[in-house]
Amino acid sequence: MKKILFTGAALAVVTAASGAFAADGIPVGHLADLTGATSSVGKPYGQGIADAMNYINAHGGVAGKKIAFETVDYAYEVPRAMSAYKKLTGSDKAVAIQGWGTGDTEALVSSVAKDEIPYFSASYSGHLTDPTGKTSVKAAPYNFFYGPSYSDSCRGLVQWAADDWKKKGNAGKPKFVHMGDNHPYPNSPKQACGAYAKELGFDILNEIQYSLKPGDFKAQCLSLKESGANYAYLANTSGSTISLLKSCETVGVQVQFMANIWGMDEPSLKTAGDAADKLVWVVAASTWNDDVPGMKLVKEISKISDASGNDSRPVHYIRGICSVYYMKEAMEMAAASGGISGPAIKKAMYTKKDWVPAGLEGVCLPSGWSAEDHRGTTQVKVYQAATKGGTIGMKQVFTADIPRRKEWLGW
């Protein structure tokens, strides 16, 4: 069995002595992007997932059993994710999966429902939030994720933008543009957010496409400049966001950029430098330097792959920990009610409201899922970057509580 271990920025593949899914363990799948188009954020998130499960195993496991898992790098390629899923549900008999991308997660919705395997994704697509299929195209009864959906996150940014426009004393309608790759992940919130922006009084401009892979985006920046946009929503991950910000700085774009939850993080602020100044984006957990009780556990978990404790982890790492600990507590509830199985884990996910996993107080947003609504939280925390003058900082500037409209479920 090959097991991927995370050590700082490097990845090492070693051969473990025992099988990934031992007979006395709890089999859990872990799909990650460590080398593909979204690996700039996939690596820290995946490391958070792995460190959390290894920490749990080192401290008694779940109901006395260890989580048996193998981290599979599918490089953000849907066919590879589908192949890995077949193995996880075939010979490996996984009872839950910690997954990653939107394209593969959405492609597996019907399969995980049929196989009754709770799928905790790092895709926050609004399409995954309707467990019944009453208001959306496809029911997603076994899909869960921690944090606000991409659609609700974008709605929160639009609320901030409307407030920002008024505070600056501007007249007329502000202009909003969606920017991102032509891919399920960047496209996920496009229609939902555009509709809400229009409702709040924005003029919606034609979208501008730029690749998930970093590159020279001066042409797109010139199109953005010519469009007259006031607020631009960046739907890609941090690697390409950095490239876009630097390209737009080069051609003198004067636009307020707003990035999704994967579009920026602490290391990316340092890389982007002045080009990221005043950028706003969504953060859905406490940050490494926040003085909250749960950061003690986060920093202990971090020592699994950084024994020195010197690494400063980005926000994505911390969200990965939250995702694992919701799964862990659901497993514990399932064990107490007769046994750990996919259906029992799913049922346990519905038992708590304003739920924060034990030991992570102040870190994970209070969340709750129901059999009719898989929007775990609709609270959107907006942070703003300050990168001028060599100082790199970020602070929360806005909180949006997005209404749970029925027509927004699954959208």
What percent of the chain is predicted at pLDDT more than 70? 94
Among candidates 219, 226, 278, 261, which has minimal Cα distance to 243?
219
Asked if 179 and 312 sit in the same domain, the reply is: no
Q: What is the mean pLDDT of the chain?
A: 94
In a domain, 217, yes or no: yes
Segment 84-102, tens digit of pLDDT: 999 999 888 999 999 999 9
What is the CATH number for 393?
A: 3.40.50.2300
- Do 108 and 222 fall into the same domain? no
Give residue 8's pLDDT: 33
| Mean pLDDT within 392-408 | 97
Q: Helices (H) and strands (E) in the chain — how many of each?
A: 13, 15
Tell me the pLDDT band of 137, cut-offs 50, 70 and 90. confident
- Residues 135-160: what's their mean pLDDT? 95
DSSP notation for 201-220: TPEEPPPEE--SS----HHH
List residues bridging with 180 in a β-sheet: 209
Co-location of 223 and 339 in the same domain: no
Specify whether 327 is located in the same domain as 402: no
* pLDDT surpassing 90 at residue 242: yes
Distance CA 136, CA 188 (A): 13
Average pLDDT over every residue of 258-267:
98
Q: Can you tell me whether residue 3 is helix, strand or coil?
A: strand
Mapped onto helix, strand or coil, the DSSP state of residue 280 is strand
Domain that holds residue 274: 150-285+379-408
Query: What is the C-alpha separation between 147 and 169, in angstroms, rounded?
Result: 33
Q: Is residue 169 part of a domain?
A: yes
Q: What's the pLDDT at 167?
A: 97
Band (391; pLDDT cuts 50, 70, 90): confident
pLDDT at 401 over 60: yes
- In this predicted model, what pLDDT tens digit does every residue of 283-297 receive, in sequence order? 999 999 999 999 999
Residues 203 and 331 reside in one and the same domain: no
Q: CB of 83 within 8 A of CB of 114?
A: no
Q: Do 251 and 165 belong together in one domain?
A: yes
> Could you report the per-residue pLDDT of 158-185, keeping only the tens digit for each?
999 999 999 999 999 999 999 999 999 9
Residue 363 lies in a domain: no
Answer yes or no: is pLDDT of 6 > 70: no
391 in a domain, yes or no?
yes
pTM over 0.85: yes
295-302 helix and 39-58 helix, angle to the nearest 10 degrees: 100
Domain count, the chain: 2
Q: Are residues 67 and 94 in the same domain?
A: yes
Q: Is the pLDDT of residue 402 over 60?
A: yes
Evaluate if residue 12 carries a pLDDT over 90. Answer: no
The terminus-to-terminus CA distance of the chain in angstroms comes to 40
Percent pLDDT > 90 in the chain is 91
